Structure 1
Amino acid sequence: MVNANEWLNEKIPKNQRAQATNLTIYKQCQNGHTTYQNGCHYCNNKNNFSNPPQYQFFSTLLEGELDLNDFVNLQYLYIYGSGPGQDQQQKLTNLKIDKCNKLISLQCNNPPISKIAIGETKQLIADRNRLKSQVEKLTSAIRNIKGFNPGDLKLVAKKIEEENLEHQVSVTKNKFDEDDKLWLDLLLETQQEVLQNDNTFARKQLEKIKKRLSTVLTTEEIQEFLGKVVEINELGIQLKNLKIQKNQW
């Protein structure tokens, strides 16, 4: 594992970055190995393809910040891990591409990036890729159903709604200071408390929190957050009821 910016400085000189249109980074070697294999030609040579304007790097595991703002003509950016496990993912924590104004395709498979510095166009690309991934999950669930089981579809739907809420919270928090972030978390927690216990105290607290957040969010934005919590909660109840019905059969 190497520091991402140090790796970048070694692999692509700054005076060549403006030429780049494609950048692909793979954790595994070209033969598909996720860990070094001594007898593998690709593991030993890495078979990196560095020919501006296209760059491909194999057997590369990065950590920390990756600043690509010198790649002003970059159109395609792909950063791949090699599986769902933490040890199989890239370790990037910050991806800077807010000056890559020509970017039209962005895919980051598996890296737990906590902050992506992007403009509105790149945000649309990221949202589109996230939606594509969710559609693929739903399609896969439908194809794999052996006999119709509504519980399978509801489980996938619940996971998608949870991902959407998590994404929306993350995007919103990027605009907030630490205090506002805590208030947003409290909003979601209190809404969940209202749905589960429906007590007067929780409802009063929810109104106070909504009033506090109204200084940084519109009424519609607050309601959208609350609505997503309701949807996830309802799907959870439906799944629980389906499980009870299944056990009674």
Structure 2
Amino acid sequence: MVDANKWLDAKIPKHQRTQTTQIIIYGQCQNNHTTYRDNCIYCNYLNQYNQSNPPNFTLYGAFFLEGELDLNDFINLLTLYIYNIGTGEQKLNLKIDKCSKLTNLRIEKALISNFIGEDKRKINRLTNQVEKLTSIVRDIKGFNLRDIKLAAKKIEEENLKYQIFDIKSKLSQDCQLLLEILLETQQEVLKNDSDFARKQLEKVKKRLSNVLTVDEMQNLLGKKVEINELEVQLNKLKIKDNLQQ
């Protein structure tokens, strides 16, 4: 097994970490090596400093990592993708509590025991939303009803986007695709309310029931309904405003 932080230190220099926006980590290189090989072009690629601006890294040979992978130096990290890590005997702790900008987290076939800092990221996100709402309330006299509903719609859309991201990070690629189909089918139901779309929706929900609870699915679909209702209200207000002009 390989100490995760020592492995990371050998791959990404300290001075490049604060600017890095994307890290993709594979358990094996494209030649299927799970550890570093001198004669492998993919393994050797890892030892070269990334020259892109901002720097983004694709790392191979992480299959045998263990312990804690501390990514807190990557304060501007936006995307993290981890694929095929772990033997079944040892799980990896992922430390991301200072990665406040991380919005695209994808983990597949990787044995991650917990996310150190995930709760803090959620708290930071909720704090930002409270600040937005406080700003709206503070300036309420300067807003009309349409402005308020538009702000509410944006917040609901942001909530839904985060929920989808959070759930997807725990699903396989096939189930992620099913989740997208679920949401698209729900949108079709809201637009046309056809029997066919409703039947398709129930079929997709049934297929996802092995990985998502009824409450989790209903919460997502409920958000879609709320956003759609706000959109309808905004359109009505727009028509009303146009008639009054």
* TM-score band, normalised by shorter chain: 0.5 to 0.7
The equivalent residue for 1:56 is none
The CA distance in 1 between the partners of 2:9 and 2:167, in whole Å, is 31
Match of 2:93 among 99, 114, 135: 99
Match of 2:200 among 181, 190, 205: 205
User: Structure 1 residues 141 and 202, CA, compared in 2 at 3 Å: closer, same or farther?
Assistant: same
Match of 1:133 among 115, 124, 128: 128
The CA distance in 1 between the partners of 2:174 and 2:205, in whole Å, is 14
User: Which structure 2 residue ranges, 5 or more long, are not aligned?
Assistant: 1-7, 21-52, 83-91
Q: Tell me the TM-score normalised to structure 2 length.
A: 0.61
User: Structure 1 residues 7 and 243, CA, compared in 2 at 3 Å: closer, same or farther?
Assistant: farther
Question: What is the aligned residue count?
Answer: 188
User: Structure 1 residues 231 and 212, CA, compared in 2 at 3 Å: closer, same or farther?
Assistant: same
Question: Does the aligned pair in 1 maintain the 2:93–2:116 contact within 8 Å?
Answer: no
The equivalent residue for 1:160 is 155
The equivalent residue for 1:10 is 13
Q: Please say if 1:119 is aligned against 2:114.
A: yes
Question: Does the aligned pair in 1 maintain the 2:100–2:124 contact within 8 Å?
Answer: no
Amino acid at match of 2:199: K
Q: What are the superposed Cα offsets for residues 92-121 of structure 1, whole Å, 9 maximum, x if unpaired?
A: 5459xx7366x7x53534x66444879355
Question: Does the aligned pair in 2 maintain the 1:106–1:129 contact within 8 Å?
Answer: no
The equivalent residue for 1:180 is 175
Question: Does the aligned pair in 1 maintain the 2:188–2:197 contact within 8 Å?
Answer: yes
Q: What does 1:1-249 align with in structure 2 at a 5 Å threshold? A: 9-11=12-14, 25=18, 61-64=54-57, 79-80=75-76, 92-94=79-81, 99=93, 106-109=98-101, 113-115=104-106, 119-145=114-140, 147-249=142-244
The CA distance in 2 between the partners of 1:235 and 1:162, in whole Å, is 11
State the superposition RMSD in angstroms.
Answer: 3.7
User: Which structure 1 residue ranges, 5 or more long, are not aligned?
Assistant: 13-23, 28-59, 81-89
